[in-house]
Amino acid sequence: GTSALTGADLAGRHVVVSAGGTREYLDPVRFLGNRSSGLQGYALARAAAARGAEVTLVSANVTLPDPAGVKVVRVETTAQLRDAVLEAAAGADSVVMAAAPADFRPTSVSEAKIKKADDGSSPTIELEQNPDVLHELAHHRPVPGAVIVGFAAETGDATGSVLELGAAKLARKGCDLLVVNDVSGGAVFGSPDNEAVILAADGAEPVVVPPGPKAALAHAIWDQVARRFVP
């Protein structure tokens, strides 16, 4: 399909977008976090609203203004993001997981600020794995027929190229679409531009989205979601 920049092809649809990066606290003042700015998720929310959708934006630690006409739910941790996304997904035609949830959290959070030891020793931080929200959504399917979309920021490594790792992740996650971007060098973080390849579980040819504003990638993603909606 062609990009529907002004049409209302998502009217009557409820979509959920997650954005930003979660934080996992070590103590009241420190956390483990990541470099996600939330720009791509906010662009997705704005684009969906412009195309007539009812939009719930689950926003993790983003410092951008609320998009007009969008319901914003603020979260900090991956556990909170999971709860907010699953609650909103119960009535959603599509969920797009643009957020970067922390994969691990400290096994315990210190109630008091952690102090330096006098002997110069350093603490060891023990971590446990967070729930995988996308995997859970895709495998439990709260709304049959809802289009579930993941993102994969890959650098490629000894085990495979960016696209090979993306294809493996699509299969593992069980989602319908996976938006793969190459983050080698870290150029995408906080950048107004993005480029990606959209992989589909239904066997459709990958859609290559050339470098451009994050709004353009957002519309390309909604194009792929919209064509998979059951009429």
Residue 166 interacts with, from Ca ion, ligand CTP, none (CB under 5-8 Å by kind): none
| Residue 16 C-beta-side C-alpha neighbours within 13 Å | 30
Contact with ligand CTP (CB under 6 A) among 20, 41, 67, 150:
150
Instruction: Give the count of residues interacting with ligand CTP (CB under 6 A).
Output: 13
97 lies in the site for ligand CTP, by CB under 6 A: yes
The interface partner of residue 89, options being Ca ion, ligand CTP, none and the CB cut-off 5 to 8 Å by kind, is none
Q: Is the CB of 93 or the CB of 154 nearer to ligand CTP?
A: 154
Dist. CA 105–CA 88, nearest whole Å: 24
- Lookup: tokens for 164: 């090979």
Which residues from 72-111 bind Ca ion, rule CB under 5 A?
A: 103
Question: Is 34 one of the annotated active-site residues of the chain?
Answer: yes
Beta bridge partners of 52: none
Cβ contact 56:66 at 8 Å: no
Contact between 151 and ligand CTP by CB under 6 A: the answer reads yes
Looking up tokens 């950048």, which residue turns up?
Answer: 191
Report the residue number, 103 or 136, with the smaller CB distance to Ca ion: 103
Distance separating alpha carbons of residues 179 and 147, to the nearest angstrom:
13
Question: In DSSP terms, which residues pair with 154 in a beta bridge?
Answer: 182
Closest by Cα among 95, 124, 98 to 180: 98
Interface with ligand CTP (CB under 6 A), residue from 101, 148, 216, 218? 101
Question: How many residues make up the chain in this entry?
Answer: 231
In the annotated binding site for CTP, the residues are: 103, 113, 131-134, 151, 169, 173
In the annotated binding site, the residues are: 103, 113, 131-134, 151, 169, 173
Contacts with Ca ion by CB under 5 A lie at 103
Catalytic residues: 34
